[in-house]
Structure 1
């Protein structure tokens, strides 16, 4: 078992909380990759996870960053990328959500998140969560002030098998209010003949999601999350293929 993380986390988060890619992109699409990284500061000892678990889908969305970067380049779209693991704090969860800082993820306990001190929790909020969402809000504010058409797209991936259950979809589109935009995307992707989820493998819940309900729906901005099964994103060829399929429908 790895050593347990310290009770205080002050000073641990030296890496910037996010990266802004192509800030002057001309596309109406604004891309977000909230689960891009599995990085956890060394001092936190992988939150008590072994190397295999810390590299798994619980820590990040495998292949999502590569896909998001490729889409950004193809569309000339601005992209906001998170630089820390979702296990530290999930940027696509409201702070009130029980799994904003998860103590358990699928079959994996997260020892380093149990009995977390109030100071350590606040450090993650202040250093990781708030800067990311302030930046996303600023990007959207600037577009709104300039009367720029905007479509907000979160880029995610999902595991082919969850809690022992295989998932038949190769991709899914998640949405709440942006039904016309999302269904056009679903219909376009289904032209390939494969199974595409319509609000599957997840659904948007304002109590459990941030990007779509808060930054999209509350502003009146069309907002969706695209979910790609991660076995399709594990090679450069797979990433290229999915970027080619997605780009025309975004």
Structure 2
């Protein structure tokens, strides 16, 4: 069912709903801090199914398919702290500025989201204060705590992308996404392109910007942290074997990044 009165702001996350933030390896000492904005596809019980059939809620419009498994295994391999967000991007997109239209989408790809139509300002604000804000407050608090402990921090924002979008096939196996960082993305691109079996996107299939992204601009760029977004094509991580293969590969490559940066005394 869908919430009947989209202006009802008396409750969003109830006692049967889980907190929006999930963390792994909080004591990890790696310089890499992993974030996963579209880790989960949960919907608060009071919102029902947002008016969508289950077939839509398992698609890429609802979450980043496969990235949860990759992120968890990568966190373990690297000894890196992972902060993940459990709720569907259809409820509120935690990698969009809250004031843009795509924050609570009315249409995703070609799918209309009935439960987001006519949403009152107060109801939209509740989604922000109960899901978006706790997630980003936690990321900010972790970065601040690491800085106080004089721990280097390199932010890696993990995502996945659909192999076909709006009827257009995407050839890349993996892409690096960035905007202002001039240190990490070129090195990561070099190491990924040294893998003979990969088609690597340079700011493909998306590029980071202040208008279309939140995690990297706000948490990394505003603090002067090295950073990159990583996008993996979803058909490559659609099962546990694929998730493991990509977690293993990324752990090896990011290990090389850390070794190089330490030799250059960048971290």
**TM (normalized to structure 1)?**
0.96
**Secondary structure of 1:179 counterpart:** coil
Deviations 1:183-205 (A, max 9, x none): 21122112222211011000011
CA contact (8 A) 2:13 2:45 kept: no
1:215 aligns with 2:215: no
Task: State the shift of 1:249 in Å.
Answer: 2.9
Which runs of 5 or more structure 1 residues have no equivalent in the other structure?
none
Q: Distance in 1 between matches of 2:191 and 2:90?
A: 33
1:171 aligns with 2:170: no
**Cross-structure match for 1:73:** 76
Aligned length: 249
CA contact (8 A) 2:3 2:46 kept: no
Task: State the shift of 1:5 in Å.
Answer: 4.5
Which of 223, 239, 249 in structure 1 is aligned with 2:243? 239
**Cross-structure match for 1:226:** 230
Q: Distance in 2 between matches of 1:185 and 1:242?
A: 15
**Cross-structure match for 1:198:** 202
Which runs of 5 or more structure 2 residues have no equivalent in the other structure?
255-267
Deviations 1:60-95 (A, max 9, x none): 000111000000000010000101111111111111
For the aligned residue pairs, the C-alpha RMSD in angstroms reads: 1.3
Question: Runs of 4+ in structure 1 displaced over 4 angstroms?
Answer: 2-5
CA contact (8 A) 1:57 1:159 kept: yes
Counterparts of 1:77-116 in structure 2 under 5 Å?
77-116=80-119
**Cross-structure match for 1:44:** 47
Task: State the shift of 1:115 in Å.
Answer: 0.7
> Quick check: 3-12 or 72-81, which moved more?
3-12
Q: Distance in 2 between matches of 1:4 and 1:48?
A: 9
Q: Distance in 1 between matches of 2:233 and 2:140?
A: 28
Q: Distance in 2 between matches of 1:215 and 1:228?
A: 22
Q: Distance in 2 between matches of 1:113 and 1:122?
A: 13
Task: State the shift of 1:248 in Å.
Answer: 2.7
**TM (normalized to structure 2)?**
0.90
**Cross-structure match for 1:12:** 12
